[in-house]
Amino acid sequence: MAQYPPIMKDKPVFLHGGDYNPEQWINQKDTIWKKDMELAVKAGINTLSVGIFSWAMLEPREGEFHFEWLDEVMDMLAANGIKAVLATPSGARPAWMAEKYPEVLRARDDGRREFFNARHNHCLTSPVYREKVRRINTLLAERYKDHPALGMWHISNEYGGECHCDLCQEKFREWLKERYGTIDNLNDSWWNTFWSHRYTSFDQIHSPSHLGERGSHGLNLAWRRFTTQQFCDFYAWEIEPLKCITPDIPCTTNLMHTTRGINYFELGRLLDRSSWDNYPSWTNDERDAQVAAHSAFCHDLMRGVCGNKPFMLMESSPSSVNWQPINRLHAPGILMLQGLQAVAHGSDTVQYFQFRKGRGSSEKFHGAVVSHDNSDQNRIYKEICQVGDTLAHLTDVLGAGTENKIALIFDWENCWALEDAQFGSNINKGYEKAIDGHYNGFVRAGYGVDVIDETCEIEKYRIVCGPMTYMLRPGFADKVKAFVEKGGTYISTYISGWVDEEDLCFMGGFPGPLREVMGIWDEELDTYDETQHNHFTWNGKTYEISDFCALVHAESASVLAELQEHFYRGYPALTENAYGKGKAYYIAGRTGEDFLKDFSAAVAKEAGLKPLVENLPYGVLCTQRVGDRGDFLFVMNTVPYENAVTIPACMDVRSGSDVFGKVILKPYEVLTLKRK
Ligand code: GLA
Ligand code: ZN
């Protein structure tokens, strides 16, 4: 059982709030700011994120600082019982800085410097930018260190992208020297004899570029690892003065689910809590079952990158966003589902982008708590009030942890290498599709899942599932062996154990170092177009294989099902290897969710696990949080029609009434229950 302290220690309730840009209304503060507070308080909003893009208002000219307006905002928040998630402004910088110090601007992969534009685009190395950030962060911390509104630091905004300027090239080369020691070691690690690519000096190396080298997988992988390191280093640089001046104020930066640029398991280790921005493309029809399941996975991943502590839903849209190809409204109930789903997966906050819609520029039509009608009369605002009211009644859940016994591996480094590799299908390797399939298999069978990467500890789990672990990172195979030996269940699939951490193929047959524990040799891989399939029959039911199908030989493993088509008919489709006290399963091809649900249910049962709720109908998901104040079960209907579920003996947290047996869930309804 894990009970965590509240994120802001003097605010022991669910945080409800959003991104707030009062400086955009500085000329109407007497009316607009006043209205903001009235509408925030009425909606049960107790936190607002301020200062995210405020640099030009805080330092309008170099060295000329204007904190008066922010003082007023902070005082106003405190007077209304609202905590500030105060941002460092590095996500966007003023025009004067770009004009005077062009080095703060990013360079593209052809070396061309960008003009002043948009946001999220500073050079990560520039000493000038680092100095400017250090100065303003320090001033913010000194000024607000004792302010009663200060609750948390929001570092920058959605770190991402990369810079290819000369300063970054130099830093990259230093990083390479540190990692590889000698140029020949680098050449060997990257297989540079290929196409006569051996370097004789680190100075010859340039970041991947469309004018230069993009086909060297070793280089590509190194650049991504380096970029992650740059962001970690930048984050550490940003928080140093904050940690020194305000050691008790937690820090976070808002992440973006499975976005490829940064290995969040690395960055996540530096955060006090993880926080993330969730914008599901709700469809308002039965496909919301898929949308919700993907969101569920993202929540578990974002919780996982910071060691499964309660996290923050830092941004979500109160209604339609403005940047999807088609921007649908949130049908009644979706807003509540979206917020409570985060809570169900371990979030201690429900926050929105944005509190108030601006009058101009590109986000004026993005969903907000307060719309252009400037009133409490619209549907969305009323639903937000309901979310605020509901959260206020769920305080017992606050800080409760998770106790999932199943772990699914999503690994950024593996993903980078796999997506870069040329074989089989070069249209889409479908790593995320495979992960989603296995995730859905477990959750639709009623189990909670932790999402981890290959560097995480796995001992505490009963089942670990590693789909498409193309790259085996150092120590991972040994960890799996020890885990299975001691009685764990490991599930592996096609395209696993092909390369080591430098993207060099394992010799001696795939799945490389996993061959012994899996008890199979994976000899060849066939790839199908969308009209081609294979089939197999398991436990009396026939299932389809699409996309990829491996030609596998059972060694010590026993064959549970055989392929039925093509020249490799009769080869294993599914194998099971008894190893020590545990078992290892190999799934030879990409199966659908029907199989993955049946298989996950069978394997979990075999491993002695019980589903949170039995026989979940399609479209209903459930999770559990466990803390000092009880075991909390969340049952979520994620579709716009009713569903019947059978609930174990529970109490409804909000009403206190008993819930047991058959219950009809209304469209998008969420039950928050406490187990008896
Ligand atoms: C991101 C950003 C916000 C805003 C929203 C719009 O998450 O962090 O500033 O642009 O997208 O959906
Ligand atoms: Zn740079």
Q: Which of 249, 300, 312, 297 is nearest to 14 (CA)?
A: 312
Q: Binning pLDDT at 50, 70 and 90, where does residue 517 land?
A: very high
Q: Does residue 6 lie within any of the structural domains? A: no
| Ligand 1, atom 10, residue with closest C-alpha | 363
For ligand 1, what atom is nearest to the CA of residue 323? Answer: 12
Which ligand is nearest to the Cα of residue 111, counting in written order? 2
Q: What pLDDT sits at residue 575?
A: 99
On whether both 551 and 596 belong to a single domain, the answer is: yes
Other CB atoms within 10 Å distance of the CB of residue 345: 26
Taking the centre of ligand 2 as the mean of its atom positions, its distance from the CA of residue 162, in whole angstroms, is 8
Beta strands in 580-657 (DSSP E): 582-587, 589-591, 620-627, 630-637, 643-652
Taking the centre of ligand 1 as the mean of its atom positions, its distance from the CA of residue 386, in whole angstroms, is 24
For ligand 1, what atom is nearest to the CA of residue 119? Answer: 9
Residue 339 to residue 387: CA distance in whole angstroms: 7
Q: What residue has token string 């229950």?
A: 673
Q: What pLDDT sits at residue 389?
A: 98
Which ligand is nearest to the Cα of residue 230, counting in written order? 2
pLDDT digits (tens, 9 = 90+) for 196-237: 999 999 999 999 999 999 999 999 999 999 999 999 999 999
Residue 422 to residue 590: CA distance in whole angstroms: 18
Q: What pLDDT sits at residue 578?
A: 98
Q: Ligand 1, residues 88, 276, 282, 315: which to mutate, most atoms within 8 A of Cβ?
A: 315
Residues with CB under 6 A from ligand 1: 157-158, 277, 279, 315, 321, 353, 363, 366
For ligand 1, what atom is nearest to the CA of residue 277? Answer: 7
Tell me what the mean pLDDT of segment 648-668 comes to: 97
Which ligand is nearest to the Cα of residue 166, counting in written order? 2
Q: What pLDDT sits at residue 318?
A: 98
Q: Using CA of residue 301, residue 306, residue 311, residue 315, what is the dihedral sign?
A: negative
Q: What residue has token string 């302290």?
A: 5
Q: Does residue 601 lie within any of the structural domains? A: yes
pLDDT digits (tens, 9 = 90+) for 120-179: 999 999 999 999 999 999 999 999 999 999 999 999 999 999 999 999 999 999 999 999
Structure tokens at 166: 């000369």
Residue 153 to residue 145: CA distance in whole angstroms: 11
| Ligand 1, atom 12, residue with closest C-alpha | 321
Q: What residue has token string 């991943």?
A: 301
Q: Which of helix, strand or coil describes residue 186?
A: helix
On whether both 533 and 447 belong to a single domain, the answer is: yes
Residue 654 to residue 348: CA distance in whole angstroms: 17
Q: Does residue 203 lie within any of the structural domains? A: no
Q: How many structural domains are present in the chain?
A: 2
pLDDT over 90, % of the chain: 100
Q: Binning pLDDT at 50, 70 and 90, where does residue 1 land?
A: low
End-to-end CA distance of the chain: 16
Tell me what the mean pLDDT of segment 512-516 comes to: 98
On whether both 557 and 592 belong to a single domain, the answer is: yes
Q: Ligand 1, residues 21, 257, 363: which to mutate, most atoms within 8 A of Cβ?
A: 363
Q: Does residue 48 lie within any of the structural domains? A: no
C-alpha dihedral (647, 650, 653, 655), degrees to nearest 10: 90
On whether both 658 and 517 belong to a single domain, the answer is: no
| Ligand 1, atom 7, residue with closest C-alpha | 277
On whether both 531 and 554 belong to a single domain, the answer is: yes
Domain endpoint, select from 572, 606, 640: 606
Q: What pLDDT sits at residue 50?
A: 99
pLDDT digits (tens, 9 = 90+) for 372-389: 999 999 999 999 999 999
Tell me what the mean pLDDT of segment 640-659 comes to: 97
- At residue 293, what is the residue type? A
On whether both 574 and 657 belong to a single domain, the answer is: no
Taking the centre of ligand 1 as the mean of its atom positions, its distance from the CA of residue 99, in whole angstroms, is 26
Q: Which of 400, 401, 404 is nearest to 297 (CA)?
A: 404
Supply the DSSP string of 231-291, one letter for each residue: HHHHHHHHHHHHHHH-TTS-EE-EE-TT-SSS-HHHHHTT-SS-EEEE-----SSTTHHHH
| Ligand 1, atom 6, residue with closest C-alpha | 353
Q: Does residue 565 lie within any of the structural domains? A: yes
- At residue 619, what is the residue type? G
Beta strands in 293-335 (DSSP E): 311-316
| Ligand 1, atom 4, residue with closest C-alpha | 353
Q: Does residue 40 lie within any of the structural domains? A: no
On whether both 509 and 586 belong to a single domain, the answer is: yes
630 pairs with which residues across the strands? 627
On whether both 417 and 532 belong to a single domain, the answer is: yes
Taking the centre of ligand 1 as the mean of its atom positions, its distance from the CA of residue 405, in whole angstroms, is 34
Domain endpoint, select from 606, 630, 660: 606
Taking the centre of ligand 2 as the mean of its atom positions, its distance from the CA of residue 123, in whole angstroms, is 4
Residue 276 to residue 257: CA distance in whole angstroms: 7
For ligand 1, what atom is nearest to the CA of residue 157? Answer: 8
511 preceded by a cis bond (ω within 30 of 0): yes
Tell me what the mean pLDDT of segment 46-67 comes to: 98
pLDDT digits (tens, 9 = 90+) for 424-441: 999 999 999 999 999 999
On whether both 520 and 658 belong to a single domain, the answer is: no
Residue 239 has pLDDT above 90, yes or no: yes
C-alpha dihedral (565, 566, 569, 571), degrees to nearest 10: -110
Taking the centre of ligand 2 as the mean of its atom positions, its distance from the CA of residue 306, in whole angstroms, is 28
Mean pLDDT of the chain: 98
0.85 exceeded by the pTM?
yes
Query: What phi and psi, each to the nearest 5 degrees, are found at residue 407?
Result: -120, 140
Q: What is the CATH number of the domain that holds 602?
A: 3.40.50.880
Q: Does residue 329 lie within any of the structural domains? A: no
Query: What is the bridge-based pairing of β-strands 630-637 and 620-627?
Result: antiparallel
Q: Ligand 1, residues 52, 154, 158: which to mutate, most atoms within 8 A of Cβ?
A: 158
On whether both 461 and 594 belong to a single domain, the answer is: yes
Taking the centre of ligand 2 as the mean of its atom positions, its distance from the CA of residue 228, in whole angstroms, is 14
3 preceded by a cis bond (ω within 30 of 0): no
Residue-wise over 478-517: b if at least 16 C-beta within 10 A, else e?
ebbbebbeeebbbbbbbbbbbbbbbbeebeeebbbbbbeb
Q: Using CA of residue 358, residue 362, residue 368, residue 371, what is the dihedral sign?
A: positive
546 pairs with which residues across the strands? 590
Query: What phi and psi, each to the nearest 5 degrees, are found at residue 625?
Result: -120, 140
Q: Ligand 1, residues 277, 316, 322, 366: which to mutate, most atoms within 8 A of Cβ?
A: 277
On whether both 454 and 581 belong to a single domain, the answer is: yes
Q: Ligand 1, residues 90, 353, 365, 369: which to mutate, most atoms within 8 A of Cβ?
A: 353
Q: Rounded to 5 degrees, what angle do the CA atoms 251, 255, 256 make?
A: 170
Say if CB 431 and CB 495 are below 8 A apart: no
Q: Which of 8, 78, 24, 90 is nearest to 355 (CA)?
A: 24
* 524 part of the active site: no
- At residue 170, what is the residue type? E
Q: What is the CATH number of the domain that holds 632?
A: 2.60.40.1180
pLDDT digits (tens, 9 = 90+) for 64-123: 999 999 999 999 999 999 999 999 999 999 999 999 999 999 999 999 999 999 999 999
For ligand 1, what atom is nearest to the CA of residue 279? Answer: 12
User: Which residues fall within 8 angstroms of residue 359, CB to CB, at 6 or more apart?
Assistant: 372
Q: Using CA of residue 308, residue 313, residue 315, residue 317, what is the dihedral sign?
A: positive
Q: Does residue 211 lie within any of the structural domains? A: no
Q: Which of helix, strand or coil describes residue 456?
A: coil
Question: In this structure, what DSSP letter does residue 637 have?
Answer: E
Taking the centre of ligand 1 as the mean of its atom positions, its distance from the CA of residue 90, in whole angstroms, is 15
**468 phi-psi bin (left φ>0, alpha ψ -120 to 50, beta other):** left
For ligand 1, what atom is nearest to the CA of residue 315? Answer: 7
pLDDT digits (tens, 9 = 90+) for 572-622: 999 999 999 999 999 999 999 999 999 999 999 999 999 999 999 999 999
Domain endpoint, select from 606, 633, 650: 606
* 315 part of the active site: yes
Active-site position among 158, 162, 238, 454:
158
Residue 673 has pLDDT above 90, yes or no: yes
Which ligand is nearest to the Cα of residue 119, counting in written order? 1
Taking the centre of ligand 2 as the mean of its atom positions, its distance from the CA of residue 94, in whole angstroms, is 18
On whether both 425 and 524 belong to a single domain, the answer is: yes
User: Which residues fall within 8 angstroms of residue 91, CB to CB, at 6 or more apart?
Assistant: 52, 53, 119, 120, 156, 157, 158
Structure tokens at 567: 């020249």
Active-site position among 103, 162, 315, 413:
315
Which ligand is nearest to the Cα of residue 363, counting in written order? 1
Q: What residue has token string 């019982």?
A: 81
Diameter of the chain measured on Cα atoms: 77
Q: Which domain holds residue 477?
A: 406-606
Element (H, E) at 554: strand 541-554
